[in-house]
Structure 1
Amino acid sequence: MNELNLPRMRTISEAAQEIKALDPRTAITEYHIRQLAVSGVIPRVKAGKKYLINLDMLIEYMSDPTSEKFRPHPTATVNGIRRVG
């Protein structure tokens, strides 16, 4: 049988809560996760007014933030300001 392996997609708030549940003393905040998503470092999917992110990819990023796969998207904007250079 083919088993469908769906990604664990969470809102930014839910992702922050799950990280907090895994590590109650974490310094990772909702704001930081949002900035990672908006800047394109972590891929995101817009669902209405909310962003959904892959929780496993967020955890992978936190394990190795210097990995080549986690680079800001060149056309991503942060707070309405486009990255130059």
Structure 2
Amino acid sequence: MTRQAPESIPEMLTVKQTAERLGIAQHHARQLALTGKVRAIRAGKKILINAQSAVNYFNTSTLISSDTYATHNIFKL
């Protein structure tokens, strides 16, 4: 069996850690994982969210204003 290099292992965050890092509610972070909008896995009772996937989700999200659509990059790495 071959071992992966540590830099190739994705950073995984709990729902609480994801919410704190991105400044969103825990409920919202959980819903993003459960609906498949971000990559996530279950580890026992916990949901672990791929940090890069969550950042990418918000960087490509579109905010709807009253008369235009605008894309806002919220988090830059």
TM-score, normalised to structure 1, is: 0.59
CA–CA separation in structure 2 for the residues paired with 1:3 and 1:47: 22
Counterpart contact for 2:32–2:38, Cα < 8 Å: yes
Q: Residues 40-63 of structure 1, C-alpha deviation per residue, up to 9 Å, x if partnerless?
A: 111211000010011111011001
Structure 2 match to 1:4 = 6
1:43 is matched with 39
What is residue 19 of structure 1 aligned with on the other side? 22
Question: Which consecutive aligned stretches of 4+ in structure 1 deviate over 2 angstroms post-superposition?
Answer: none
How many matched pairs?
58
Q: Which has the larger radius of gyration?
A: 2
- Greater strand share, 1 or 2? 2
Gaps of 5+ in 1: 21-27, 67-85
* TM-score normalised by L of structure 2: 0.65
Q: Which runs of 5+ in 2 are unaligned?
A: 63-77
- Percentage identity across paired residues of the two chains: 34
